[in-house]
A and B are shown apart, each in its own frame.
Chain A
Amino acid sequence: MKAFTDPSRMLSLELGRSAMISDDEYEIDLPSPTDTGDKTRDIVRTQSTPAQSPLVHTVQVIRGISKLLKSVREPIIPLLTLQSFDLLFDDCMELFPAHHQVNAHGPLDPHQIPPLIYLQNARLILHRHNLSTKIAPSLRSRVADECSNIAKQTAGFLARCMLDGSGLSSHSQGGHEAWRGPFISAANAFLCTHVWRCSLFLCLRAEYEDALVCVRASAAMGSARPVNVACGKYLEFFVQKLLSKLDEGVNPVDADEEILALVSGDLQGSADSAWVWKDDNSGSPGSRSTHFSAVNATALTAHEDAYGWSNWDGILDILTRLRQKQRQRQQQTPQQHQLRIPLTVPSQVQQQSVHLASPISPGGTETPLSGTSRIRIADIM
């Protein structure tokens, strides 16, 4: 029953809170794939196809990654540890049905994706943990690549939730979006924040197609959860900042420490993983301060403000235009398909007030232009 050694200290993945349930303190069978909690149905179950409860996959994922919690305490997770956990994640994925695999196709029931999202988020959190000024810029870029790859997988799952029964995307049907109802009923705060984290990396890596999928999902969830509104505000701010940096000629943009801090999102809101607040000269963790609560307060909007923002369409519009220009650029110069296109900040975006104060002080380093030629696109809007 107990497949994994319980670490002596169990820490929650991001909040620094300790788990209450120890793996050596319970004796209960793992959930059955057909567990419904309904004793009448379970006792009289026939030979017919049983219902598949997502609970069993969820528990398998959670138990499988328990060891992750201890690793995240370290300032930098060693590469070998990351690789061993990636193998562990692959093993967890094999427990899922074929239809739930990353490379599968066809519509996906959004009610089935929670355990997939738990796994995806654990992978993202693990790799994102190393997005720090403590490692070389080239390695940071590799970390951002890995996070972006994980985010693309999540976007893949979300895109499949947006397919209709015939496998067509809602956007190929003139806007008919029957996927929204089931998707919203399956949504929760956890999904909101994971999709937000994915959107940040996809925007950073100019993966606009996948970023659009994520933002559409976020837009569908809208004000359903207060945290999603805060995520939207943050994402709007981040996209503006990213465009601004690109327009200034920052290249590569992921070497800019301000962008690095912003794309790491709520990593900077955790006492254990944040580095932006620490004294760079001392090399030792800084003292805890009220900054943490301030970051959490601004990054996660109070409930009273939860319904005061709704500009998902604005973000979608920007990303759509970025994708359009990217495709045009790719058609003109196919060998530069990895080019990140700087743009002037759209006028309507400039007019919108940014409600979320930047949680960090300015201090990103400007990097010299690389030898790769760049296109400046003015008046795109």
Chain B
Amino acid sequence: MDKRLELPELPPKHVADELLYLYRISFHATFPLLDWTNFSQEYESVYRQRSLREVPQVWGALLFAVFACGTLPRYLRDGQDYSEKARKLLDLSVDDLTLDHVRTAVLTSVFLVELNRKSAGWTWLGIAVRMGQDIGLHVSNVKGSFVDQVVDRPVWWTLYVCDRFVVALI
């Protein structure tokens, strides 16, 4: 984690737990973007330390993007705040992009679209697609182990659905 960057304060654990639950029963139920076992283990570790310092910066961005989408089922007002924090943590200038970069970008797109900010959502979807293509998400059949495909596949197809249909049709 880049220690020069001011890290956002984590919401209280009971709030965070609820947001993760709401995210899981809503968006994740249809688009399983996250490796939930891994993600929740990391989440518990972060909250034990009450800090994002020991995790990659992009993971912190992903966490807040998940929080933002978790506010949607109960239209909680803090969603925009969480989304802004996620965007600040997501460094678009890095060259070593990861799956978490793609996940964060597509969740940011989804959140903005749900708030009827279609142009901003479309822009972030473009970022997510380019990131996904950059890390070779679209050619998982050519590279990668079975494990990679299991994890990569839902992410790619979520990008595909958003690109072709969801953003276009609302």
Contact = CB atoms under 8 A, between A and B. Distances in A.
A121 B164 contact: no
Interface stretch (A15-23, A171-179, A320-328, A336-344): A15-23
A223 B32 contact: no
Contacts of B25: 111, 185
Contacts of B140: 27-29
A193 B170 contact: yes
Interface stretch (B5-13, B55-63, B68-76): B68-76
Chain A interface secondary structure, helix, strand, loop or mixed?
Answer: loop
B94 interface: no
B18 to A, nearest CB: 12
A28 B149 contact: yes
Interface residues of B, number: 57
A14 B31 contact: no
Contacts of A62: 160-161, 164-165
Contact of B116 (A26, A41, A303): A303
Given A35-B153, A226-B116, A21 B34 contact: no
Contact of B153 (A10, A28, A125, A227): A28
Interface in A36-77: 36-43, 53-55, 58-59, 62, 66
B73 A27 contact: no
Interface string B139-170: 11110001101111111111111011111111
A345 interface: no
B89 to A, nearest CB: 22
Contacts of B35: 37-40
A231 to B, nearest CB: 10
B169 A225 contact: no
Interface in B11-37: 22, 25-26, 29-37
Nearest to A225: B114
Chain B interface secondary structure, helix, strand, loop or mixed?
Answer: helix
B30 A25 contact: no
B117 interface: yes
A28 B129 contact: no
A184 interface: yes
Contact of B115 (A55, A125, A226): A226
A55 B158 contact: yes
Given A13-B165, A28-B152, A184 B73 contact: yes
A339 B55 CA distance: 66
A58 B31 CA distance: 10
A77 B136 CA distance: 38
A28 B138 contact: yes
Nearest to B145: A39
B100 to A, nearest CB: 13
Interface centre among A26, A35, A186 (most CB of B within 10 A): A26
A31 interface: yes
A319 B67 CA distance: 38
A301 B118 CA distance: 12
A196 to B, nearest CB: 11
A14 B166 CA distance: 11
A31 B158 CA distance: 10
Contacts of B33: 37
A294 interface: no
A189 B113 contact: yes
Contacts of B74: 184-185, 224
A224 B116 CA distance: 11
Interface in A121-154: 121-122, 125
A27 B163 contact: no
Contact of A55 (B30, B130, B165): B30
Contacts of B37: 38-41
A44 to B, nearest CB: 11
Interface of B: 22, 25-26, 29-38, 72-75, 113-118, 122, 125-126, 129-130, 137-142, 146-147, 149-161, 163-170
Given A31-B153, A37-B34, A38-B36, 15 more contacts: A13-B169, A20-B163, A21-B129, A21-B160, A28-B152, A35-B154, A39-B147, A39-B151, A54-B29, A62-B165, A189-B170, A190-B169, A227-B116, A303-B115, A303-B116
Top 9 nearest A-B pairs (CB, nearest first) are: A12-B168, A37-B32, A26-B138, A185-B73, A37-B154, A27-B141, A226-B116, A224-B75, A40-B37
